[in-house]
Structure 1
């Protein structure tokens, strides 16, 4: 266990509301986007550690969900870790009385929980994706990941959700390595991180599977009071970036309720703001997610999710496979169980509890971690 570490926050924070501390809202012009849509009518599944439905900023936003592991038999609306509540806040917090404001405060959260003690597995994530697709989710956020190759069941689950018209968003990871599963499966919007200057966040996993970038440094969000007494925390990690993009997808689906998921993904990709050379690159994908651009773009419908590989030469008997990862290295066997990462692919993002005007306490993690992240693997 890491010892608790007090971190002094800048005195400026004492004069700021929680919403005012959410620098990513201004960086992405979220308030202008929310003048066009707020996520109403859209269900976003959060596959994570659960979501604290009692948090004031999430009141009325959290639906009964489901659980796995020691959370099995529950509805996912409790969270002893804090990570899932943080992701839900980034997506749909209501910003009441100066509290945290999510990207899509009109959206509903569908929590799919597994405690960090029980840990997610690749097959549990696959089952979670299917459950979300079967229970009304139009967007699925996966601020988690595995460094091992994905299983056939995970690829099939992604295909299933795509066929059910779901937008799938996942974090690339925090190890500074290759994009992790499920973000590296074709059809999934793989999100890497940026810092306050709009530059790539140094710990992000990147590679040819990277699709979009979003803020991942110093993201202020909700937390269970059982974990942080203030009810708020600050975190670094591509988990946060993934949740931001999931929120933008919810805005687009609310603004254009008849728009198929493939066209929502296309709008996110085509309106992204280049951060490197024109076009797609390994570090930031197509660029920074652009909420206003995605909401206002007038693009022709596409035939298929633009992240899927082109159809193979068709025959009367053969249908093209939807989702598939890039060729995997045939090496290590997939572990049956991998540790749950409380922030994103490749490791746990650092979450720091906000005491608003007082010192913050860094969260404790089960294994030694670096200044920003915990050990590699699922998130």
Structure 2
């Protein structure tokens, strides 16, 4: 009996030590974090059933069909980038250690960490990083941004194989700043700039070909716009906007009498539009009006802020649902399950801090 107790004790100690290893997932959380609402573009589609949500430096794996958090993919490190690979499904999380080394953590769709790699590169202070998956006989790469300067690294190298200064002529603007960017596969780097002028800010997106350092202007944008290079290697832009009853004289505001482009696809090679999703959103004086767009994976959710009616599209323009109603005042689109034709939302009634998953059959 004493021998059996000793074996049991050793087994429990081994299990506890495994759970405490850095990079391994913790126990399943009990409640959804309110922080999911506070960050934009922080939902990553794993498959029909699961998504991961980035909340600060935690990445939460959510099973939508079961209606629960599976576990937190916590590494106790600063999260730099998240990518989802398919066939087989892998969740790639890039983090920064306390010594400013970059680590890559690979999880499966169950939240089990499969491997961990540390790159030789030391990350500069306040730098941003994008991970580029292996493709077309080219190994994985890292694009590092520090201010207006971008450096491309091989996964095994300490010195960059390419440097690029993304500073542009500020022209009529007092300041020109980089506010967002994306890099997936060489040679295309996409950057969003903000131009500050008297009582107004303008936004513009440029596609840079790093082979010849030439830039393509996607154009000046009437609203602040989110961007990403999608899995089809196309530039995807989407926006949200709340009309204001009082607009500064120099500020640009979308015309509520016209249809608005809330989501669009562009060619990285030419910068020409491939698809434009549009709708008309009325301005209502004295109450919130405009629209909100959310993109998760290949699905686009858009909601009219005055009527609360919402529609769901595929990113290729296919309409899945039109002018639906019944969502709570606070609702975040999480995913669409093509197998059971169900859209999933995280909702709050606005009266309490409790959040819950809401499936909507289409």
For the aligned pair, the TM-score class normalised by the smaller chain equals under 0.3
TM-score in terms of structure 1 length: 0.25
The structure richer in strand per residue is 2
For CA contacts below 8 A with separation 6 or more, give which structure has more relative contact order: 1
The structure richer in helix per residue is 1
TM-score in terms of structure 2 length: 0.26
